[in-house]
Amino acid sequence: MLRKAVIPAAGLGTRFLPVTRSVPKELLPILDRPMLQYVVAEAAEAGVEEVIVITSRGKEGIADYFRGRPELEERLADDAELLERVRSGTELAEVSFVIQQEPLGLGHAVLTAREAVGDETFAVILPDDIIAHTPGTLSQMLAAIAGRGDDAAAVAVERLPWDVVHNYGVVDAETVGAGLHRVKGLVEKPAPGTAPSNLSIVGRYILPPRVFDCLERTPPGAKGEIQLTDGLALLMADGPLYACEFEGVRYDGGNPMGLLRASLEHALAREDTRTAAAELVRRLAAELDAGDGG
Ligand code: G1P
């Protein structure tokens, strides 16, 4: 059973400057909901009751987002739909916060949650990776590794074009089932041309608590940072690590164009916005075809 999830959200969000001067990247919206809310919802769907968000100084807006809003709720008391939307931010799970004092890497960020997680298996979700699908990726991973032992760890992976895999963690793995692989090795941001496969790690992890001991022992790696991927290489030494391919489209919310694409495709999929979004896309496409769009 998975009760806790850690969401690292301590980064500076440089690719979204200047907006990230005051708005944490994780609160930027896909259409009208913060990216962070999508991943909290995915965790809740997988049974998670407690979410631990790793933040840094200057990102107090994230904690503020999860505060109750009694005055606002009172003013919207007659509008059930708006009231539901206000509450949707806070009702999914219990959310707590841990501050990462220094930007020493993803592995280090996860390690700061050690006390809050305690001695149980937990999930890590990177909020930049938004995956549209029901059931969510975490649920799919839990189903994929069910019956493979309480100690099993898992990462989500996606086959990506070979020319982009150097931006990711990459696994060397042996296929053991449909979309399920047993990891034999993994490397963070391999130099171009050296990746062991194109199975690239996407930001979803299921980890037993002994990963914290591994992260304690993990030396700085790619970019001089303590990498979660390197911690998992140590974890693998005394327990199975699985790589799960998943159903659903992944959006890279870590850069402005990825977020724009996510917003547009969500607008096209959502009933209340579908017609207007489709009209917009058709008009823009027609303008581009006619040569008016540059
Ligand atoms: C992080 C992880 C990497 C993973 C990626 C997925 O990298 O270190 O292993 O493939 O997330 O989004 P980052 O995107 O923070 O550079």
Render pLDDT for 204-225 as a digit per residue (tens, 0 to 9): 999 999 999 999 999 999 999 9
CA of 227 to the centre of ligand 1 (A): 9
Query: Which atom of ligand 1 is least distant from the CA of 169?
Result: 9
Phi-psi region of 224 (alpha: psi -120 to 50; beta: other; left: phi over 0): left
CA distance 164 to 18: 26
* Residue 91: strand, helix, or coil: coil
With the most atoms of ligand 1 within 8 angstroms of its CB, the residue from 126, 188, 204, 227 to mutate is: 126
Taking each helix axis from N to C end, the angle separating 256-269 and 274-289, rounded to the nearest 10 degrees, works out to 120
CA distance 154 to 169: 13
Query: Which atom of ligand 1 is least distant from the CA of 168?
Result: 10
CA distance 60 to 101: 14
CA of 213 to the centre of ligand 1 (A): 21
Give the residues surrounding ligand 1 with Cβ less than 6 Å away: 106, 126, 128-129, 168-169, 188, 200-203, 227-229
Superfamily name with CATH number, domain 4-254: Spore Coat Polysaccharide Biosynthesis Protein SpsA; Chain A (3.90.550.10)
CA of 125 to the centre of ligand 1 (A): 11
The per-residue pLDDT for range 233-285, each reduced to its tens digit, is 999 998 999 999 999 999 999 999 999 999 999 999 999 999 999 999 999 99
The whole-model pTM stands at 0.95
CA distance 156 to 204: 5
- What pLDDT was estimated at residue 92? 87
* Residue 6: strand, helix, or coil: strand
Cis status, amide bond into 219, omega within 30 of 0 = no
Specify burial of residue 5 (Cβ count, 10 A radius: 0-12, 13-18, 19+).
buried
Residue 218, CA atoms < 13 Å, CB-side half-sphere: 30
Tell the residue nearest (CA) to atom 9 of ligand 1: 169
CA of 230 to the centre of ligand 1 (A): 12
Every domain range in the chain assigned CATH 3.90.550.10 = 4-254
- What pLDDT was estimated at residue 149? 86
> Phi and psi at residue 29, in whole multiples of 5°?
-90, 150
Phi-psi region of 222 (alpha: psi -120 to 50; beta: other; left: phi over 0): beta
CA of 98 to the centre of ligand 1 (A): 20
* Residue 129: strand, helix, or coil: strand
CA of 88 to the centre of ligand 1 (A): 28
Query: Which atom of ligand 1 is least distant from the CA of 228?
Result: 8
- What pLDDT was estimated at residue 216? 97
CA of 200 to the centre of ligand 1 (A): 9
With the most atoms of ligand 1 within 8 angstroms of its CB, the residue from 16, 187, 201 to mutate is: 201
Query: Which atom of ligand 1 is least distant from the CA of 201?
Result: 10
Taking each helix axis from N to C end, the angle separating 35-45 and 137-145, rounded to the nearest 10 degrees, works out to 30
The neighbouring-strand residues paired with 172 are: 185
**Contacts of 262-270 spanning 24+ positions with Cβ under 8 A:** 262/30, 262/130, 262/132, 263/29, 263/30, 263/31, 265/132, 266/30, 266/31, 266/132, 267/31, 269/132, 270/31
Tell the residue nearest (CA) to atom 13 of ligand 1: 168
CA of 293 to the centre of ligand 1 (A): 35
* pLDDT tens for each residue of the chain, 294 residues long: 899 999 999 999 999 999 999 999 999 999 999 999 999 999 999 999 999 999 999 899 999 999 888 999 999 999 999 998 888 877 889 999 999 999 999 999 999 999 999 999 999 999 999 999 999 999 999 999 998 988 899 999 999 999 999 999 999 999 999 999 999 999 999 999 999 999 999 999 999 999 999 999 999 999 999 999 999 999 999 899 999 999 999 999 999 999 999 999 999 999 999 999 999 999 999 999 998 655
Query: Which atom of ligand 1 is least distant from the CA of 128?
Result: 12
Angle at the Cα of 67 from the Cα atoms of 122 and 202, rounded to 5 degrees: 35
